[in-house]
Chains A and B, each alone.
Chain A
Amino acid sequence: MDQMPVKMEHLLHELSVLPLSEGAGFSLTNYMFWLIIAVVMVLVFFVAASRKVKLVPSGIGNMAEAGVDFVRNSICVDVIGPEGKKYFPFLGTIFFFVLFNNLLGNIPPALPGTGTVGTTFTWAIIVFIVYNAIGIKKLGFFKYIGSLVPKGTPWWLSWLLFLIELISHLLRPFTLGVRLFANMYAGHIMLGVFAAFAGIFIEQLSPASIAIVPLSVVMQIALRVFELLVAVLQAYIFTILTAVYIGGALEAGSH
């Protein structure tokens, strides 16, 4: 058991952002290595699938269609409305990027590209810029900013509401980024902890090993399944929140 702190240290080090080469200057990090692989997988998958679509769907084309249809109808149209289809390329890019990274991170020894704030904050900031740009494009800059305060608010209350709304908007990229990062990071910590348990009790066989090693293996399997669910769910949540923000920006002028 005295090995646990060492193992934990090792695990945390493995999951931290590390440059691939130790020299000075530009270097990819461990997370970026897997992120690039995931991005290439998305590109290959969709470019291949787009060449294979047929009126009667089958194979890879069918899979891609199911994913596209899900994002386009169950996210874009359901959340934003009929005009939501216009924003599908953006929302689809987000969904499949996050999904592929999350899923790839579930296959050892890969790390999820979304398990680092460098990724999640960058994408959350892109979302922030895009949804505000959509609102400004529709209403004009001053009208959009003005729409933060509901019409008919007394003047002495409006500055307070404006401040609250402004803060809530500015917090959005932060919460969006942290939610995805924490889910992916925490999942891998959990997997690492049970792997470490199994490792320690196999190295130092004791009567407790009989119970703890099988339990750790069972937990490892259960958590892998759970992580698959989390991977899909977090991709869905990140995308649907983006859709909600875009929908809110489009409706800003109407209340």
Chain B
Amino acid sequence: MELIIPNTTEMWVNIAAFAILFVVLWKFAFPPITKMLDERANKIRESLEKAEDTRVEAERLLEEYKVQMAEARAEAAQVIEQGRKVAESMKAEILAKAREEAEAEKSKAVAAIKAEKESAMAELKGEVADLSVAVAGKILGTSITKADHEALIDKYLAEVGSLNEN
């Protein structure tokens, strides 16, 4: 039974031990340690928050760069497209001009040929008339009257003309 009856001396020693331990730990030993623990917890929290901020900022910048890049690309495409259009219209213009010039050249040539042909025709007509009178005179051996002469020429020419038409 004496086992569970506290010894008075031991009780006083323990009261003193508690008092000394509590005061020293409470006033001197624990505060620097708990302060450091809180400081570290704060520091870690701050670092995490800062890291998060940095991440958000980086993401924002990346997004911005992406937008800028897309804009630049669209602009470049526009410039190329514009260049292509200008080139195409220039090409069409040059072609039209060339075609026009060729057309003009051609029609000029056709007109010249036509005029040449007409003058040649007229010349030929005169020569054929004289020649055929001379040939006819030689064959007939006689001279025919002026009226006969002209009737013959017209008849002959009509024949030649119809030949020419065929």
Interface positions of A (Cβ within 8 A of B): 16-17, 19, 26-29, 31-32, 35-36, 39, 42-43, 46-47, 49-51, 53-55, 57, 61, 64-65, 68-69, 72, 85, 88-90, 92-93, 96-97, 116-119, 121-123, 126, 178, 181, 185
Contact = CB atoms under 8 A, between A and B. Distances in A.
10 closest pairs, A vs B, by CB?
A118-B10, A46-B29, A89-B26, A122-B14, A53-B36, A50-B32, A118-B7, A118-B6, A50-B29, A93-B22
Interface in B34-71: 34, 36-37, 39-40, 43
Interface residues of B, number: 33
A150 B15 CA distance: 35
Contacts of B11: 118, 121-122
Contacts of B5: 117
A117 B3 contact: yes
A233 B22 CA distance: 22
A29 B18 contact: no
B9 interface: yes
B4 interface: yes
Contact of A31 (B10, B18, B26, B30): B10
Contact of B18 (A17, A53, A97, A117): A97
Nearest to A73: B37
A77 to B, nearest CB: 12
B37 A68 contact: yes
B33 A49 contact: yes
A29 B10 contact: yes
Contacts of A116: 6-7, 10
A55 B43 contact: yes
B13 interface: yes
Nearest to B18: A126
Chain B: interface secondary structure? helix
Interface string B19-35: 01110111011111110
B14 A17 contact: no
B30 A17 contact: no
B14 to A, nearest CB: 4
B124 interface: no
Contacts of B34: 68, 72, 85, 88
Contacts of B20: 39, 43
B17 interface: yes
Nearest to B33: A68
Given A53-B36, A89-B25, A32 B13 contact: yes
B30 A88 contact: yes
Given A35-B17, A65-B36, A121-B6, A89 B28 contact: no
Given A26-B9, A39-B17, A93-B22, A65 B37 contact: yes
A131 B6 CA distance: 22
A57 B20 CA distance: 27
Contacts of B29: 43, 46-47, 49-50
A158 B39 CA distance: 49
